[in-house]
Amino acid sequence: MNSYISIPRILKAASLMLLTITLTSCEIDDFPDPNNPIIEPNASVTELNYLVVGTESGMRNFLGTYYDNVGVIGREHYRFSGADPRFTTDLLGFSTSVLDDNTFYTTNPWGARYRVVKNANILIERAENSTLITEEQRQGYIGFAKTIKAHQLLMNLTMTNENGIRIEVEDVDNPGPIVKGDDAYAALANLLNEAATHLGSAGTTFAFPLSAGFAGFDTPATFLEFNRGLAARIAVYRGRYSEALTLLEASFLDLTGNFDRGVYYTFSTAPGDQLNPLFFAPNATGEVRIAHPSFVADATPGDARLSKVSLRTASATQNFLTGQYDVAVYSSLLDPVPIIRNEELILIYAEAKIQTNQLGDAVTALNRIRTANNIGVYTGPQTQQALITEMLRQRRYSLYFEGHRWVDMRRYNRLSELPIDRAGDDVWVSFPIPFAES
């Protein structure tokens, strides 16, 4: 588990063997060797569509490790593993443990995201050079690829934070420098804006299929709404709140709509496909995800979001940590996992309204979240600081186990408020850049 392939080596490998795990809702023509397709420089729609399927499929690789990383450090849950204690040592800073720059929890998610980026880069290059597709089709392929590329790079930046990421990796023999801070976020925002321009010139339909996870977002116009939602997420990460509100207007934000409408990773039992890596059966032993005790202890009585955890028949314990509740966000190995959904957009809207001092609008949005979850309207002080605390609380419960808590507390300089379970434990600010990259 300690082996690691550096970015140049990842990209070279990916250029030889594209990620092609089946997405069952997509239909593509057969290739002579579907695991090692040869994509001609002058690619056809069929060949480009194969790249789209591989790109989307690869987004799910090592997803479980990513969510364990950010969730455990963010004190949302514990990962008790009979096979590997590092989920309760390294990730929590137990005793003298620190985050390792050359082990599975750092290198695997990092490498998986860059493999998808490589697929996206190949798709962009082939679409740009193909004479076998229309101009609208070309714009659709490029808009899709740049949007997914930005999302994947954002996931790595979420982990490494101020340590940065590589943005320019098109040249596998000479990747660009590691970009840090707001420069990295700005580069991703620009990439999404470029994608939006392409999508705006892509006509009314895509030439390629997408999985059921993109249901309702599978045309250039609706995919653009997904793109603008991701851009709004980055805008609040950057503290650009007026910009976030503008982006939300072009997204799929619906203040009175279904919280769960959005874009998802999907899973199936089809040969070669993947199962939801975030589901463990209730009362499991050996490999379990246990809700951090504070999630229940800090909740408002009657909060409907407490259904995201379930009481075990017996407590689970490992390495001086104990919990009574399983993480129960997912009920089966086939449940989809959100990339972004309307409930997050409503909370982004509330945050941006607070930060632009439009407090009445913010309270209205927060009350939409509160009343839908059976905890009544907000009755606290209507000051900016009090509403920031309220907004973070609602994000904690609404977006539980979706990869946000650690990021939220970090960007508001509140990591010190996360619970320390054992004397000497640490709350890490960021993951190190993988050893082979530094």
Question: Can you give the CATH number for the domain in which 51 is found?
Answer: 1.25.40
**Contact by Cβ (8 Å): 61, 18:** no
Q: Which residue has the higher pLDDT, 166 or 11?
A: 166
213 in any annotated domain:
yes
375 in any annotated domain:
no
Question: pLDDT by residue (tens digit) across 144-191?
Answer: 999 999 999 999 999 999 999 999 999 988 999 999 999 999 999 999
Residue reference for tokens 């985050």: 99
pLDDT score of 120 more than 50: yes
Average pLDDT, the chain: 92
324 in any annotated domain:
no
pLDDT score of 9 more than 70: no
Tell me how far apart the alpha carbons of residues 353 and 348 are, in angstroms, rounded to a whole number: 9
318 in any annotated domain:
no
92 in any annotated domain:
yes
pLDDT score of 14 more than 70: no
Residue range 283-306: mean pLDDT, rounded: 97
Question: Quick count: other Cβ atoms within 10 Å of Cβ 357?
Answer: 9
**Contact by Cβ (8 Å): 201, 127:** no
Tokens at residue 287, please?
Answer: 């490999």
Domain range spanning residue 49? 7-271+337-344
In the prediction, which pLDDT does 172 show? Answer: 83
Tell me how far apart the alpha carbons of residues 210 and 193 are, in angstroms, rounded to a whole number: 21
In the prediction, which pLDDT does 438 show? Answer: 75
For residue 262, the cross-strand partners are 341
Question: pLDDT by residue (tens digit) across 258-270?
Answer: 999 999 999 999 9
Tell me how far apart the alpha carbons of residues 23 and 271 are, in angstroms, rounded to a whole number: 10
113 in any annotated domain:
yes
pLDDT score of 99 more than 90: yes
Residue range 95-109: mean pLDDT, rounded: 98
401 in any annotated domain:
no
404 in any annotated domain:
no
User: In total, how many domains does the chain have?
Assistant: 1
Residue range 88-101: mean pLDDT, rounded: 97
Amino acid at 374: N
Tokens at residue 201, please?
Answer: 């010139």
First vs last Cα of the chain: how many Å apart? 19
Question: pLDDT by residue (tens digit) across 25-67?
Answer: 333 334 344 445 566 789 999 999 999 999 999 999 999 999 9
Tell me how far apart the alpha carbons of residues 333 and 267 are, in angstroms, rounded to a whole number: 8
